[in-house]
Amino acid sequence: MNPSKTMQKKYAKKLEVLKNMKFDEALLEGFQSGRVLACISSRPGQTGSVEGYILEGKELDFYSKKISDKKK
């Protein structure tokens, strides 16, 4: 089953945006190694669901340093 022309246009736009995106080297390295640091931000008491975000930029650098210091 082929997507409709409107869906093909939508996919093409999204693909173009993704091609032009720049990612942090540390974040790409994490994806390649299979380990990405994330922060869980869901509220306590909410059962069955977890919300969070992937760390990037200064926040990723901070926690990466914390982890490396802890290993030493």
Q: How far is CA 28 from CA 7, 12, 72, in A?
A: 29, 23, 24
Altogether, the residues listed in the chain come to a count of 72
Rounded to two decimals, what is the model's pTM?
A: 0.59
Cα–Cα dist 45/67, whole Å: 28
Residue 53 has pLDDT above 80, yes or no: yes
Q: What is the pLDDT of residues 4-16, one digit of tens each?
A: 989 999 999 999 9
